[in-house]
């Protein structure tokens, strides 16, 4: 049976057809990338109790999106920080902790990497240009910037992409103080953290770039799905874990 991959969803007001209302959504590139890697995508809306769905999935993708509330890491908001989305912060934090407790593979994308760091006790740079002196990681709204990253040999990201890769970035925030257990496994040329991994878990990876936006390169999502299959069989990528609950036929 193909691995079921949960993707955390946005809650946004959207106009479509004759409707203008709040919807639970993700960009179509996320489920497309999961399907291309051989998985079955399932959306996880930002709703109370959604973390229970983790017991029925095989891997978790924390999607990109708006800024994490600085109050979650004890900081006052920067003028450039977006309005908080407390319902999404709470839902994704609970979902992540449930996934870590189960030991299933996790991939955090952009905001998802930041959620991973903050949920485990780290902090964020609230406006990247203040730290690196340029806007290259987020050149303009809706534009993904090609960025070269150096990846640590032996890491999960290097296993997928090699020790250097050109990736697509769109982020004005980034990881600052790392949470305990996280290790930097990728940096941009300006020193900004672009990838982290969590020790003690077979596959918990956060990347600041958007692997789902590259329609011709699904290697990182492939690695996520491969980790599910290896963990299920007790292979090298992980240890056996309890299977998801049986579903009715």
Provide the annotated active-site residues: 110, 210, 212
Question: What is the pairing mode between strands 10-16 and 19-25?
Answer: antiparallel
Name the strand (E) or helix (H) holding 11.
Answer: strand 10-16
Residue with tokens 């189960």: 102
Contacts of 213 (CB under 8 A, 6+ apart): 29, 144, 168
Who's near 14: CB < 8 A, 6+ residues apart? 20, 21, 22, 23, 25
One-character DSSP codes across 101-116 = HHT--EEEETHHHHHH
Tokens of 85: 């989305």
Q: CA 60 → CA 26, 112, 154, distances in Å?
A: 14, 10, 22
Q: DSSP letters of 201-212?
A: SSSEEEESB-GG
**Rounded distance between C-alpha atoms, residue 157 and residue 76, angstroms:** 33
Give the C-alpha separation, 155 to 168, whole Å: 20
DSSP state of 72: G
């Amino acid at each position: 049976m193909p691995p079921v991959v949960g993707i955390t969803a946005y809650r946004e007001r959207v106009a479509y057809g004759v409707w203008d209302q709040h919807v639970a959504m993700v960009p179509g590139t996320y489920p497309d990338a999961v399907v291309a890697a051989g998985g079955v995508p399932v959306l996880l809306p930002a709703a109370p109790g959604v973390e229970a769905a983790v017991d029925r999935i095989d891997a978790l993708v924390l999607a990109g999106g708006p800024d994490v509330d600085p109050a979650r890491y004890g900081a006052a908001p920067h003028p450039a920080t977006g309005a908080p989305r407390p319902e999404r912060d709470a839902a994704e934090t609970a979902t992540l902790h449930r996934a870590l407790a189960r030991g299933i593979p996790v991939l955090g994308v952009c905001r998802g990497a930041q959620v991973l760091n903050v949920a485990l006790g780290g902090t964020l740079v609230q406006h990247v240009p203040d730290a690196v002196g340029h806007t290259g990681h987020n050149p303009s709204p809706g534009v993904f910037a090609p960025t070269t990253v150096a990846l640590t040999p032996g890491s999960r990201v290097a296993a997928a992409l090699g020790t250097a890769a050109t990736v697509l970035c769109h982020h004005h925030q980034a990881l600052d103080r790392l949470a305990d257990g996280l290790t930097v496994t990728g940096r941009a040329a300006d020193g900004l953290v672009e990838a982290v991994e969590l020790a003690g878990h077979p596959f918990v990876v956060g990347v600041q770039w958007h692997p789902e936006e590259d329609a011709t390169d699904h290697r990182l999502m492939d690695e996520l799905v491969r980790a599910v299959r290896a963990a299920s069989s007790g292979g090298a990528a992980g240890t056996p874990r309890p299977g998801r609950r049986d579903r009715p036929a």
